[in-house]
Structure 1
Amino acid sequence: MNKKLLLLIILSIFAIMVSACSNNNSSSNESGDGESDQKLTVLVEGGSPAETVANETSDAFQEETGYEVVIESVPYTGVYDRMRTELTTGAGAFDVATIDTIWLPALYEGLEPIQDIVTEEISGDLFPGLIDGATIEENVYGLPTWTNSKILLYRKDLFEDENNKSKFEAEFGYELGPPEDWEQYKDVASFFGNNEDFPELYGTTVFGASSGDSVASWLDHVTQAGADNLIMNEDGEVIVDDKYHVEALNMLDDLVSTEGLVPENTLETASAETAELFYNGNLAMMLAWGHFYVPANDPDTSSVAGNVGVAPMIAGEGGIGGVPGPWYQVIPSSSKKKDMAKEYLEFMYEKNELYADALGVAARQSVFEEYGQEEKYSHLAPLATTLEAEQTQNRPSTDQWQEIESEALIPAVQKVLGGEITAQEALEEAKEKIEGIVN
């Protein structure tokens, strides 16, 4: 009996030890420290440069760290939806995500601060406003992958034609060239705009489609008018109906209202439609995101390839200005591998030139300088000029931006460009809607 009792005691102790070891292994695997769980899951937009570069660098990262990169790709809106789900459930489904700047204010409370890896060397090589754009309540939540803004693309063959130059100077009193301000932009659009000399051509386009693209385009001109803030000031006061916002919308309305300057379907036009018209040879110039320059000069995608010139964004009374469109890599707080995720962000920063290869833009100034020496990337110098301009500024940092944009700003732009009401009236309406949203 004593031997049996002793055997039972020994077996019980052994079972407890096995259970404890099992629990320890489980805990190790959950934290991501166990050898059997050396995987880092990265969320990206499917078909985007983020997915391209993630795939190109995955083997090198695994060789350097021992961690396999598992890439999860979803459509554009799916990135935001997956982030919201992750931050709500805390499931730890992925460790890094590449997100649009407009989502940061709505997501930051579920993100890991990363200012400990943003050294002076890193921030010193990034364009102005990039770190500020990812800083909320004194914490940095994202490291930029690329940044962008609209610049001027134009038809060199039209602008350098001696007959066109002679006629333009006779009509407007100055030499034909890439326009530098609002007045010159309208003059050039008028000269090439669907008239007897150019029946198959329009001067440019105005973005009026029901999308954020139209709002961003209008806000470009608000910065140029001299605004210190967009939509709301630093105290949270809604200023969308001030003179700068009104002047910019009036300028666009003037282009639309003057016959022949832009195609008639303004309320259906944004970046994609504008690019198609330009690539097909139906526009003299366009204000487009900088990376559009590469396909515009590609014979496989553009009938005007080889004849495309590029210049900085146009200026208003306040000077050159625009609204950047950066993307950031972020780390969900729910990740169980935060240290390795930070290593991944630093690793990808060192590979930033790959975004220039994939998209035509990057985040580091040094990449702009290096690639800008190649003819293929001639857009990078004027894009850098625009990004560094004093009036260039980010959209307001608010977690209600998407609602403000869809419920107040897009309708305001469309009502004005559609000829329903004046810019002042539309923006006063928009102010009331925005105050209702934020309050």
Structure 2
Amino acid sequence: MEKFRIAVRKFDPFESTLQKLWDTFCLQNNIEIEAEMIPYELHNLYVETIAKKGLENGNWDIAHLNTDWIFDAANEKAVLDLTSFITENPPENYPDGWHNSLLHLQQIDNGTYGLPFHDGPECLIFRKDLFENPLEKENFKKQFGYELHPPENWEEFSQIASFFNRPEENLYGAVFANFPDGHNMVFDFCLQLWTRGGSLLNEHNQININHIEAVQALDFYRNIVNNDNAVHPKSKKFGSVEAGLAFAEGQAAMAINWFGFASMCEVIDESKVKGKVDIAALPHDPNHKTASLNVYWLYTIGSGSKHQKLAYDFLRFATTAESDKLLTTEGGIGCRKSTWKDDEINKLIPYYHKLEMLHENALTLPQTPIWPKVAELIDQMVLKAIETDISTEKLLQETQKAIQKLQN
């Protein structure tokens, strides 16, 4: 019997939400086709959908793709341009229901290649119960001479991380996601770069990471990650999900991670920090402004799907205000402004309304077909930085040479 196939980003809230949405959708529309939903880790999801041409050859009807890949997917003609569907039958309150920063990355050459599904830019997540504790505040001031508050610059970040690092209590100053999957360390490097006023692009719009801000960014990052007196010892094995769970289990005072992992602390059963968490903008160089990174997830339809109309009808259903709210209560991050401002959601997750602020400072990665390969090179560079003592300058020079070959 024919099945409707969905490639899913492996993450419990995504899987549970999708199953609930599909069941309701079928019930409401009297649809009997069975859905097969296969969850994949990041790298395998890319391989199954784009590298192995799964979306193009009809193997997948719908896939979760993130915006790092959408340029590549559209270029490869792997995903369907939804323009004609949207014109004929737009999603609820489209496009005004979403912040502009969630609508432009899937717009490529006048086509629209997906609908926003899950988001939450990078931010500083911290334990407000620790930061607000009078005894902690007193001890911190004695030691460092200033009031304990969420760090505004990277030096404060290091000091606060070392202050809260208490391995004997299974509490660490900060937790990072240093598993080399082509994503987390690349994002961390970009954030370090941007918050120091640096850029990934030169004046000719070409990728160039061989400059002073990049040296400062990589230097700081390799030092902090290897600081045993400040950082969770398992950071090198953690992807963003594992780092998020460690934070939710009360093992760290601070994390730099996706907003979704802050909200997860309020809704998942494993959380030991419900009601004890808050978020803030990222620390930054005193002469430059803060930054965030916006990479979001899309619902996309395979160009080879035999069920394109059904797939689009489901996408419209899965992106309504009600469905968006469901994703949020399950532990994902709804993309609609209505969810950000929802009273119930803000009771459950008191900092949810701050999403708008994060989007105001959110930058995006360069849209170029070579980005996935550039990301791999940056990932390898950061890994070498934290695992060897090759100089930062040399690592940046070598990586830039390799990037240049891709650009020529």
TM category, shorter:
0.7 to 0.9
Tell me which residue corresponds to 1:144: 116
Report the more deviating stretch, 210-219 or 119-128: 119-128
- Asked whether the equivalents of residues 7 and 62 of structure 2 are also in contact (C-alpha less than 8 Å), the reply is yes
Other-structure match for 2:70: 104
Residue aligning to 1:250: 219
1:35-46 matched pairs, under 5 angstroms: 41-45=5-9
TM-score (norm 2): 0.83
Letter of the 1:216 partner, please give it.
F
Query: What is the letter of the counterpart of residue 196 of structure 2?
Result: A
Query: What does residue range 7-406 of structure 1 map to in structure 2 within 5 Å?
Result: 41-45=5-9, 48-68=12-32, 70-74=34-38, 75-76=40-41, 77-84=43-50, 87=53, 90-108=56-74, 109-116=77-84, 117=86, 121-194=93-166, 201-211=171-181, 212-227=183-198, 229-230=199-200, 232=201, 235=204, 237-256=206-225, 260-263=229-232, 267-275=236-244, 277-297=246-266, 300-316=269-285, 317-350=287-320, 351-370=323-342, 373-389=345-361, 392-406=362-376
Cα RMSD after superposing both structures: 3.3
Contact 1:49 1:355 survives alignment (8 Å): yes
Instruction: Determine the C-alpha separation between the residues in 2 that align with 1:130 and 1:112.
Output: 18
CA distance in 2, matches of 1:297, 1:88: 36
* TM-superposed deviation, 1:162: 1.6
Q: Deviations over 1:4-39 (max 9, x none)?
A: xxxxxxxxxxxxxxxxxxxxxxxxxxxxxxxx99x8
Q: Is the 8 A contact 2:8 2:64 kept in 1?
A: yes
Between Structure 1 and Structure 2, how many residues are aligned?
Answer: 396
Bigger proportion of residues as helix: 1
**Pair 86,199 (structure 1): closer, same or farther in 2 beyond 3 Å:** closer
For each residue in 1:76-113, what CA deviation from the matched residue of structure 2 results, as whole angstroms up to 9, or x when unmatched? 34543342378479543443322222221221123221
Distance 1:294 1:373, change over 3 A: closer
Whole-Å Cα distance in 2 between the matches of residues 86 and 412 of structure 1?
27
Alpha-carbon distance in 1 for matches of 2:33, 2:186: 36
Give 1:176 deviation, angstroms.
1.1
Residue identity matched to 1:103: W
**1:153-185 Cα distance to aligned partner (Å, 9 max, x none):** 222332222222123223433321222332332
8 Å Cα contact 2:264/2:332 also seen in 1: no
Q: d(CA) in 2 for partners of 1:218 and 1:60?
A: 42
SS at match of 1:284: strand
Asked if the contact 2:140–2:163 (Cα under 8 Å) also holds between the matched residues in 1, the reply is yes
For structure 2, which runs of at least 5 residues remain unmatched after alignment?
none
1:373–1:90 Cα change, 3 Å: closer
Distance 1:434 1:419, change over 3 A: same
For the Cα contact (< 8 Å) 2:161–2:173, is it kept in 1? yes
CA distance, structure 2, for counterparts of residue 234 and residue 416 of structure 1: 27
Q: Quick one: distance in 1 between partners of 2:311 and 2:390?
A: 51
Q: Does structure 2 retain, via aligned residues, the 8 Å contact 1:144–1:327?
A: yes
Deviations 1:189-225 (A, max 9, x none): 2322359xx8864321344332321221222222222
5+ long unaligned stretches in structure 1: 1-35
Identity %: 24
Cα 1:67–1:81 change in 2 (3 A) is farther
The verdict on how the C-alpha distance between 1:221 and 1:71 changes in structure 2, with shifts beyond 3 A counting, is farther
**CA distance 1:46–1:305, change in 2 (3 Å):** closer
Partner SS state of residue 374, structure 1: helix
Aligned 8 A contact 1:206 1:255 in 2? no
CA distance in 2, matches of 1:265, 1:291: 21
What secondary structure sits across from 1:44 in the alignment? strand
Judged with a 3 Å threshold, the aligned counterparts in structure 2 of structure 1 residues 272 and 60 are, in CA distance, closer, same or farther, namely closer
**Aligned mates of 2:63, 2:234 — CA distance in 1:** 37
**Separation in 2, partners of 1:44, 1:200:** 33
Report how far residue 143 of structure 1 moved: 0.6
Greater CA drift, 113-122 or 348-357: 113-122
- Find the structure with the greater CA-based Rg: 1
Q: Which amino acid aligns with 1:80?
A: Y
Instruction: Determine if the alignment matches structure 1 residue 421 to structure 2 residue 390.
Output: yes
Residues 49 and 371 (structure 1), Cα distance of their counterparts in 2 relative to 1, 3 Å cut: farther
- For residues 161 and 106 of structure 1, do their structure 2 counterparts lie closer, same or farther at Cα, with a shift above 3 Å needed? same
1:380 deviates by 1.9
Task: Give how far 1:144 is off.
Answer: 0.8
